[in-house]
Structure 1
Amino acid sequence: MGPELTETQLLGLWEIGAGYAPPARALLLAEAVAPAGEAVADLTLAELNALLLDLREGSFGAALPCTADCPNCDEPLEVTVTTDELRAPGRRHVPGPSRAPATLRAEGHEVRYRPLTGRDLLAVDPASPEARRVLLSRCVLDSDHGVDTLPETVLERIAQRLADLDPGADTVLALACPYCRHAWAAALDVAEYLWAEVEGYARRLLHEVHTLARVYGWSESEVLAVSPARRRFYLEATAG
């Protein structure tokens, strides 16, 4: 079981992260459960996902209900995956050095590269037409002919190898349509999935605070001090 945040902590995360772009929100969520002193922005994407899955499991449970439309017949599907199924290689985040860099030799270039990190995502404007090249160039530690002169084909070769260098950086679900039997792979953004749950929970909780404060005159802290089960009773009583 991962670390569980209190309702007050979840409200604080939502309030801060509401104005953030997705990469910054992912780091905010990961920092909430990272070991003290760990530089979350410098973790690889797989390490960030491990932290996010720990947070999700501790605060909302291990089962993640998902929906998807079959790309072949457009039928809507409902599937449930678990945090353990999404972890790679089935382990929780362990503090320590990131994965060692790798070397690619292709088209006359020798390139040493590393996995992508959260800091890389923060540094790139996703709206820029050069976003992909800039992001992949940040992975390059050194090149015998210089980073700026690397052809797109070499950078794409690096992109294809990043999943092997950092297993778990991409969380992908293997799906099969029960109607037309079409099989495909669907990406699941763990950070955005978790953020949607944090936002939904925070908004429901604030509505509860509003209702109970209006009826009983309680402060926010007094409402949050009441257990969720007892709050449900009081809310049902106010509705009656």
Structure 2
Amino acid sequence: MVVAELTEAQLLAVWESGSGQGPQDRALLLARTAVGDTEPVADLTLAGLHALLLGFRERAFGSSLPCATDCPACGEPLEVAVETAELRPPAPAPAPASAPVLGARTEPPTGSFRAAGREVTYRALTLSDLLAVAPGGRDSRRALLQRCVVATTPDAGPLPGHVLEEVARRLPGVDPGAETAVALECPGCGHSWSAELDVPGHLWAEIEGYARRLLYEVHALARAYGWTERDVLAVSPARRRFYLEAAG
């Protein structure tokens, strides 16, 4: 999988395009930016999406992700640096023949189990599923799980909630890497817990922060030297820092 380079001009264009979009559309935008518009990124499973965006993040900003949270036990603020390697499956298994591959439309991996007198066949969630279901609330979760159900035998109508929850429990098994949980421990009270890291959301926050800092640099250097945005972006970050200090 080839992850594209991201120039500062492209980063600003991505930020501008995604500023008015929701989380799912931004995830699609970031995935398309990573590999180009010709690839069917909407067909990626969540693990595939996370792997793509983590690789993209490594090339753009490095492998260490600064994160902040509060201890759920004592409320102590906690700042940690999470390595991208921690968010990938510890031992990737060989990809199933049906796993999605960039450049070709294929079906996501599937699994099956028996419950409520029926054989339930389900598949991994994809980015297309997230785009199709409005986020938030119990109904959206149920709608996503229903989209994962490929077939039931016999077909006797909608599945009860407890069966859909069993589908949810089994999804990580067919798509390792779909969940990006980080093990944390509070240095104050010693409480240990696991927190989910939103890979597309974290990457978007970094792009937005970088874009805003870059625009302030453009603004400052335009006022000091009369440069255009193109002039500023043509100067390396190290040289820009010098000019900003000199104009300071």
In structure 1, C-alpha distance between the alignment counterparts of 2:133 and 2:156, rounded to whole Å: 17
What's the counterpart of residue 159 of structure 1? 168
Letter in 2 for 1:22: P
Letter in 2 for 1:218: W
SS of match in other structure, 1:116: coil
**After TM superposition, what 4+ stretches of structure 1 lie above 3 angstroms from structure 2?**
1-4, 93-99, 145-148
What's the counterpart of residue 95 of structure 2? none
In structure 2, C-alpha distance between the alignment counterparts of 1:24 and 1:2, rounded to whole Å: 19
Letter in 1 for 2:181: V
The 1:130/1:94 distance shift into structure 2, 3 A limit, reads closer
Q: Aligned match of 2:200 in 178, 184, 191?
A: 191
> Could you say what the CA RMSD is over the residues aligned between the two structures, in angstroms?
2.1
Letter in 2 for 1:19: G
In structure 2, C-alpha distance between the alignment counterparts of 1:79 and 1:218, rounded to whole Å: 39
Q: Contact between 1:172 and 1:185, CA under 8 Å: does it hold in 2? A: yes
SS of match in other structure, 1:38: coil
What's the counterpart of residue 185 of structure 2? 176
SS of match in other structure, 2:240: helix
Matched residues, number: 238
Measure how far apart 1:90 and its partner are. 6.2
Instruction: Provide the TM-score with structure 1 as the length reference.
Output: 0.92
Measure how far apart 1:3 and its partner are. 4.5
Measure how far apart 1:37 and its partner are. 3.1
In structure 1, C-alpha distance between the alignment counterparts of 2:136 and 2:82, rounded to whole Å: 31
Q: Contact between 2:4 and 2:36, CA under 8 Å: does it hold in 1? A: no
Measure how far apart 1:146 and its partner are. 3.7
The gaps in structure 2 that reach 5 residues or longer are: 93-99
Q: Aligned match of 1:212 in 204, 213, 221?
A: 221
In structure 1, C-alpha distance between the alignment counterparts of 2:83 and 2:187, rounded to whole Å: 20
Measure how far apart 1:215 and its partner are. 1.8
The gaps in structure 1 that reach 5 residues or longer are: none
In structure 2, C-alpha distance between the alignment counterparts of 1:48 and 1:231, rounded to whole Å: 34
2:71 equivalent to 1:70: yes
Measure how far apart 1:163 and its partner are. 1.1
In structure 2, C-alpha distance between the alignment counterparts of 1:186 and 1:125, rounded to whole Å: 23
User: What's the % identity of the aligned pairs?
Assistant: 58
